[in-house]
Structure 1
Amino acid sequence: MKKGFFIFCDESVKSDRYYSNFYGGSMIAKEDYEKINNLLVSKKQDIGMEDSELKWSNINAYRVDAYCEMMELYFNIIAQNIIKFRLMFTDNRFIPRNLTATHKQNEYHLLYYQFIKHSFGFSHINSDVLIDLELYFDTLPDKKEKNKKFKGFIHGLQYLPELEGANLQIKKESIYEVDSKKHIILQCSDVILGSMGFRLNNHHKDKPEGQYRRGKRTVAKEKVYRFINSKIRDIRPNFNIGVSTSVDGDPLNKFFHPYRHWLFTPSEHNYIPSSKNIK
């Protein structure tokens, strides 16, 4: 016997004011995928965006209601634990120590690897059945050789001692780079990722140079962010977007929770305070 999951992975905001290196992923059981994918595609058609890609950067004053409708459906699916969403990011106040030139050159892939390895809680489960994973990465923005090496490390996750209990299977041919325009789950993941990077870096306060008021696009994005935040709080009241989500006393919840954030902090770091206030 075996159980299978698709994991759709995306990344956003390499470097920003306060928080950087945003990675996100949506995991869904293979048996649920076709029904949920059709539901999301149908909803996208209903809101009149069948010919447009859902992306955080595409939000404007005319599309607020459409994006909120799409996010309402997506979060209703998350709330039912059919899709599990995970988000990882770093805090610029924590400066890694002892990084080699290799670490710096491969930072993007190294952090992505940590996200896949830890965010879905596989190290905390003991499975009697084989768990078959297929991973879909939005086109990786790096050289082909570096991307190939990264995929090799993802394939190797199944052989790590700390993941032995999860009974994972990751075939080399089941690690894909795909065009997000063809995958609605990736598009929805992009919107959630973008919304968190937007708010955590205080872009809701941005004003055009020389202007006293915020731009219409900024106001529109804040409305969508606030809606997304309200949906997260329907799942988990008083959710704090800027910290790692509690496991509520049970590490297994890293796997079972429908929605989680992980603030990745290097084990060796220097701390540089800043004057930000995130709520």
Structure 2
Amino acid sequence: MSESAYYQIYCDESCISDRYHVIGGLILNRKHESAIIEKIKTFRSSTNMSKELKWTKVKNQKREQYVQFVDIGSQLFLDDVAHFHALVIDSHQYDHKKYSAGNAETTFYKMMYQFVLHRFGKYLKVGDRFSLFLDQRSTSYSLSDFKTIMNRGLVKRYGLPQNPLRDVVPLNSKEHDLIQMADVFMGAIGFRVNGKELAANACSAKLALCAHIEMNLKIRSLAHPIEEHGFSSWHFRFRK
């Protein structure tokens, strides 16, 4: 009998002021987490990057440091130690009144449900469990209700005999490196899908970082749907 796994999933959202929103996250076996955190700690020490790492802070002055940061993530994906997945949503298709009784927060958690169910649920085998860590947000939506609904969906879709989701934990992204890593990869996807490289004043460091990620992971373009084993981007379509 194979040993059951306990996964950690770290999720966030990006590009919320743009047409195409991005929800993304990292998944890793909990037994690998300490080693990954140590890698990032060493990177921070060697580059003097002690503050929050995020896509909006990618500037020409810190270009090489962010290249090193995404190299850590890319190697984790290629080595099958951690994976990154993203969901791209066209905000012009949002209809909060139709789908969520006019509540934008309900729409967000419905999107998060779809993301976790389809991108991360496929990892689970009988006996596996996971914790879901979300960036803190001001919301009246019940995380306890979300956990219950999420478990029902996972059990039904994958035929699991138990509730695999054990915790839904809000975290301050400024204090958690794995949410920050997810943010940078999400930001790169959002930069491409929103066509920001076409702007006359496009940040050259962000352009270079997108190209570097694409080269490392052998991806034609972050703007298109991606279905690699350790790195994917799913472009969501609402039912008409």
Q: How far apart are the structure 1 equivalents of 2:234 and 2:161? A: 20
What residue in structure 1 maps to residue 165 of structure 2?
170
Secondary structure in structure 2 of the residue aligned to 1:81: coil
What residue in structure 1 maps to residue 62 of structure 2?
63
Q: In the alignment, is residue 120 of structure 1 matched against residue 131 of structure 2?
A: no
2:191 to 185, 198, 201: 198
What residue in structure 1 maps to residue 32 of structure 2?
32
Which digits, 9 at most, give the CA deviation of each residue in 1:75-94, with x for residues without a partner?
01111010011011124676
The number of equivalent residue pairs is: 237
Contact 1:131 1:167 in 2 (8 A): no
What residue in structure 2 maps to residue 88 of structure 1?
87
Which digits, 9 at most, give the CA deviation of each residue in 1:120-177, with x for residues without a partner?
252xx673x41110111111x242344453344334444x321224865222xx2100
Which digits, 9 at most, give the CA deviation of each residue in 1:196-215, with x for residues without a partner?
111211212334xxxxxx26
Contact 2:147 2:165 in 1 (8 A): no
RMSD after superposition: 2.6
1:120 to 1:197, Cα distance in 2 relative to 1, 3 A: same
What residue in structure 2 maps to residue 161 of structure 1?
156
1:66 to 1:104, Cα distance in 2 relative to 1, 3 A: same
Identity, % of aligned pairs? 20
Instruction: Report the TM-score when normalising by structure 1.
Output: 0.76
2:140 to 144, 157, 160: 144
Structure 1 gaps of 5+ residues are 208-213, 248-256, 269-279
**Partner amino acid, structure 2, of 1:77:** L
**Partner amino acid, structure 2, of 1:225:** C
1:61 to 1:246, Cα distance in 2 relative to 1, 3 A: closer
Q: How far apart are the structure 2 equivalents of 1:265 and 1:180? A: 28
Q: How far apart are the structure 2 equivalents of 1:134 and 1:92? A: 28
Q: How far apart are the structure 2 equivalents of 1:24 and 1:109? A: 13
Structure ID, larger Rg:
1
Q: How far apart are the structure 2 equivalents of 1:82 and 1:163? A: 23
